[in-house]
Amino acid sequence: MLIHVKTDFDKVIPLEGHVGRALHTSGLPRKELWLTNKIDGLPSGDYSSVRARVEAMLAEVQVDHFDLLLINYPLPAGTALDGNPEALARSENWAHFERHLLEAWTNMSRLRQDGLAIHVGVSNFYTQHLEALQDVIIRSNKINKCKRNSTPAHTSDPEPHGNDLAPIYAAENFIDLAHPEYELVEYCFRHSIRCLAYRSVYFIGVYEIIGLLEPLEGVVSAVGVANVHQLVLAWLLSRGVSPITSSSNKDHLRSNYEALSASRQLRTCNIDSSASEILGEALNTLALAFRGMGDLHGIPVCFGIS
């Protein structure tokens, strides 16, 4: 069984030391762990500096590689994500993203090539960011291929034009009942990018307080889940989205695993039509209720600029 351990990114929330001590004392073989970490902002600039940052992160966790390393957001490193969303939505942030994207992903690809990460991906990149990154990867790799094809076979340099850029392994985003991100999820599927969802159940209590979860109660029994929390996880899993949850409570962990069986029912539409309609209407109600309120959860709206 693989155990997923996700630490927070690059010293902004310094949990690596605690995770490293826990892993070291657990006695679990490294091959049974899947370690995901994030690097703060676009890792542009000198590769040696970026590598030194990641090596320090690895040293804290006491491992020699991450299974998945994500760029935490498509903005300059050190951006205050808890600041004024309007300030973060300025056009210069998109200009910075476009200007530094190739350099940043080249550095991520080199980290992968050097064995510091098995896979590389992104977080808080929405459809327009992924489209831009995919375009950079395709164009760069085509140029490399043309250069390799034009290189004489007798050249002494086995890699005269460098390695190809790595594919996007995964994209992690804020996805919940009120923010289903259908377009983003569909884009990830079309391009074989694994879709991860964070904070998917974080605000269920808030929705309940303001009376938006009542329509979902009728779906809970029809789908065969214990509660709305489990329904949300099953709904995400049925869409092929991997929800990221955390708990040290055995009952909560067991409940999360039980959502898998319910997700199969949703995926195969093995629920009665009335329950399906109720679920669809409830999701639409939630999405409409929070439309235009991108900063409600402290999520900067700058990630949606075009």
DSSP string, the chain: --EEEEPPSTTTS--HHHHHHHHHHH---GGGEEEEEEESS---S-HHHHHHHHHHHHHHHT-S-EEEEEE--SS-TT--TTS-HHHHT-HHHHHHHHHHHHHHHHHHHHHHHTTSEEEEEEES--HHHHHHHHHHHHHHHHHHHHHHHTS-TT-S-SSTT-PPPPP--EEEEE-BTTB--HHHHHHHHHTTPEEEEESSSTTHHHHHHTT-SHHHHHHHHHHT-SSHHHHHHHHHHHTT-EE----S-HHHHHHHHHHHHHHHHHHTT-S-HHHHHHHHHHHHHHHHHHTT-TTTTS--GGGG--
Give the C-alpha separation, 168 to 104, whole Å.
13
Q: How is residue 199 written in tokens?
A: 């904070």
Instruction: Please determine, for residue 249, whether its predicted confidence score (pLDDT) is greater than 50.
Output: yes
Torsion angle, CA of 297/300/301/306, rounded to 10 degrees? Answer: -150
| Residue of 5, 9, 71, 10 whose CA lies nearest to 35 | 5
Which pLDDT band holds residue 243 (cuts at 50, 70, 90)? very high
Q: How is residue 174 written in tokens?
A: 């804020």
Average pLDDT, the chain: 79
Instruction: Please determine, for residue 270, whether its predicted confidence score (pLDDT) is greater than 50.
Output: yes
302 assigned to some structural domain:
no
Q: Are 34 and 101 members of one domain? A: yes
Q: Are 33 and 110 members of one domain? A: yes
| Residue of 13, 71, 68 whose CA lies nearest to 42 | 71
184 assigned to some structural domain:
no
Domain range spanning residue 62? Answer: 1-149+163-174
193 assigned to some structural domain:
no
Instruction: Please determine, for residue 77, whether its predicted confidence score (pLDDT) is greater than 70.
Output: yes
301 assigned to some structural domain:
no
What's the number of domains the chain is made of? Answer: 2
Q: Are 167 and 218 members of one domain? A: no
In degrees and rounded to multiples of 5, residue 71 shows phi and psi of: -75, 125
Instruction: Please determine, for residue 291, whether its predicted confidence score (pLDDT) is greater than 70.
Output: no
Q: What CA–CA distances, in Å, run from 80 to 40, 41, 207?
A: 11, 10, 27
What's the confidence (pLDDT) of residue 15?
54
Which pLDDT band holds residue 44 (cuts at 50, 70, 90)? very high
Q: Are 167 and 228 members of one domain? A: no
| Residue of 245, 248, 260, 130 whose CA lies nearest to 198 | 245
Section 126-138 average pLDDT: 96
60 assigned to some structural domain:
yes
239 assigned to some structural domain:
yes
What's the confidence (pLDDT) of residue 239?
87
Maximum Cα interatomic distance, the chain, rounded to a whole number of Å: 72
Instruction: Please determine, for residue 261, whether its predicted confidence score (pLDDT) is greater than 70.
Output: yes
Instruction: Please determine, for residue 293, whether its predicted confidence score (pLDDT) is greater than 50.
Output: no
Q: Are 224 and 114 members of one domain? A: no
185 assigned to some structural domain:
no
220 assigned to some structural domain:
yes
Beta carbons within 10 angstroms of residue 217's beta carbon: 14
Q: Are 117 and 256 members of one domain? A: no
Q: Are 64 and 134 members of one domain? A: yes
Q: Are 289 and 170 members of one domain? A: no
Q: How is residue 299 written in tokens?
A: 């999520």
Least confident residue range of 38-42, 145-149, 261-265, 280-284: 280-284
Report percent pLDDT > 70 for the chain. 73
Q: Are 145 and 28 members of one domain? A: yes
Q: Are 168 and 220 members of one domain? A: no
For position 100, which CATH number holds?
A: 3.20.20.100
| Residue of 28, 109, 24 whose CA lies nearest to 63 | 24
Report percent pLDDT > 90 for the chain. 37
Q: Which amino acid is at 282?
A: A
